[in-house]
Chain A
Amino acid sequence: MSGARGEPSDARGERAGARAERASAARAEPVSALGAIGWACRRDLLLTAHGKSELALVFVFFVLVTSLFPLGVGPEPALLRAIAPGIVWVCALLSALLSFGRLFGSDHADGTLEQMIVSGAPLAALVAGKMVAHVLVIGVPLAMLTPLIALQFGLSAGAMIVAVAALLLGTPILVGLGAIGAALTLGVRGGAALLALLVLPLAIPVLIFGAGAVDAAEAGMSAGAHLSLLGAGLIAAAIGCPFAAAAALRIALD
């Protein structure tokens, strides 16, 4: 099954090695939560580094879709500056949505996911590790792309910085929600559209406070309240989403 994705042979070797490592760890002593997080995160990062990069698609999509708006509404600078915060956030949300399927998809396809569940390691910790890797691989680059978009839409430097900060705070929350959605829709036909329907309504508060932060900064006001709320949301999501997603995985694979 592991050859189905056409990975280079060293990636296959890496997967076999990872499996052996986890198996021996499970046989040895119970894995600590922190250890599980670290292991899952490292594994996903390595797999991403070795595997084919479908990820570039996410970033191309982000830049492409943000560019569509001026084409749609006209090039008038004042209008673009006014709608920029919302556009950046909606497009970031949709781009992230594209990537959520692969949170559990490939592990489910080759059976690693089931092995993760039956291993002794705390599933929520493994999920948290995968979420961290996903944030590093998708969320941080998206945040780093926003200055480019901000420039295209004529946002001020202050707003640009706030946009980056807001996305850094917000994308982990989105990844958390995406993990729950991806786990619930694992292997379901029409899963991608269903995932969008499940995740987008729940992501609305992040959208509101994230875009609100950039809006406030652009208007010269303090974005502190918005960013604090995003921070609070981040803490809540960091604690709650791994457990919810783990529960959803057990429901999907039991």
Chain B
Amino acid sequence: MNWFKYSSPASFYPVAGKVYPWFFAAAMILFVVALYVGFAVAPTDAQQGESYRIMFVHVATATLSMFLYVVMALWCASSLVFNTRLSAMMAQAIAPTGAWFTFIALWTGALWGKPTWGTYWVWDARITSELILLFLYGGFLALTQAIEDPRRADRAGALLALVGVINVPIIYFSVRWWNTLHQGASITVSAAPKIAQPMLVALFAMMLAFWAYAIAAALRRVRCIIVERESGSDWLRALKRQGTL
């Protein structure tokens, strides 16, 4: 299949429009499955009681927030290498969803921490890195929105995302070092409960659910971006006249 056929906004727009409802539906189904297995099937944990069930949404969104950043950086690299507008638009479509997931991860992490370790916030390596990731998303969003020329915004954001993705392992390594040095209250948030089979299934289903949702949201958003940026183009106005926009 010739993927490059879809590398122009004009050809990608209708495809994205047809496809995203399916991803959204898949996400909803997977959410229901994950919640059912996670709450009705998975047993109570010996140490953490019921509060461990927050792990499903916390770990899923935390993992995806990092994964989405990498995907965003790949789209950015593609936009610089192949000089395609659509790649940059996809990167900018993913960023807000990634930021939302990071927020959810931090919020649920705090609510998991309180009953389990007594405090809402723990400066451990992973949570701190997640907070820094939120700042990295914020920087990308702020930069791409502050620059008025879309072409310059695309390329500046792309460079920033690439610098960011190179720095993420460095930042994570340095934060881990910092955390092991300052083992004041030796709390490790990584102390996950002994993982039973239904818990793994629920976690996996939750991750797939959020992933499907992220794809749907990104496709919806890139369609908005295309309408915003291509408003002068003939193909877009033709679609509007036809009423199939």
Contacts and interface: CB of A to CB of B under 8 A. Distances in A.
A–B touching in complex (CB under 8 Å): yes
Interface of A: 180, 184-185, 188-191, 194, 197-198, 200-202, 204-205, 208-209, 212, 215, 244, 247-248, 251-252, 254
A208 B159 contact: no
18 contacts: A184-B160, A185-B143, A194-B142, A194-B146, A197-B135, A197-B138, A197-B142, A198-B160, A201-B132, A202-B167, A204-B132, A204-B175, A205-B171, A208-B175, A208-B177, A212-B181, A251-B152, A254-B152
B156 A194 contact: no
A235 B147 CA distance: 31
A244 B165 CA distance: 14
Interface string B113-150: 00000000000000000001001101100110011000
Contacts of A189: 146
Given A197-B142, A201-B132, A212-B177, 8 more contacts: A184-B159, A194-B142, A201-B136, A202-B164, A202-B171, A205-B167, A209-B177, A252-B156
Interface string B173-191: 1110110010000000000
A165 to B, nearest CB: 18
A184 B178 contact: no
Nearest to A193: B142
Contacts of A197: 135, 138-139, 142
Contacts of B152: 251-252, 254
Nearest to A206: B174
B169 to A, nearest CB: 10
B163 interface: yes
A200 B135 contact: yes
A244 to B, nearest CB: 6
B19 interface: no
Nearest to A187: B147
Given A201-B136, A202-B164, A212-B181, A194 B174 contact: no
B155 interface: yes
B32 interface: no
B163 A244 contact: yes
Contact of A205 (B135, B146, B156, B170): B170
A215 B171 CA distance: 19
Contacts of B135: 197, 200-201
A194 B170 contact: no
Nearest to A180: B163
B138 A188 contact: no
Contacts of A254: 152
B143 A184 contact: yes
A97 to B, nearest CB: 14
Given A208-B174, A247-B159, A198 B147 contact: no
Given A189-B146, A197-B142, A198-B160, A251 B155 contact: yes
Nearest to B164: A202
Nearest to A251: B155
A200 B163 CA distance: 13
Interface in B13-63: none
Which of B139, B143, B170 has the largest number of chain A CB atoms within 10 A? Answer: B139
Given A184-B160, A201-B132, A254-B152, A194 B143 contact: yes
A15 to B, nearest CB: 27
A200 B135 CA distance: 9
The 6 A-B residue pairs whose C-beta atoms are closest, nearest first, are: A205-B174, A201-B135, A251-B155, A208-B174, A208-B178, A198-B139
Contact of B139 (A201, A205, A248, A251): A201
Contacts of B159: 180, 184, 244, 247-248, 251
Contacts of A244: 159, 163
Contact of B156 (A184, A212, A215): A184
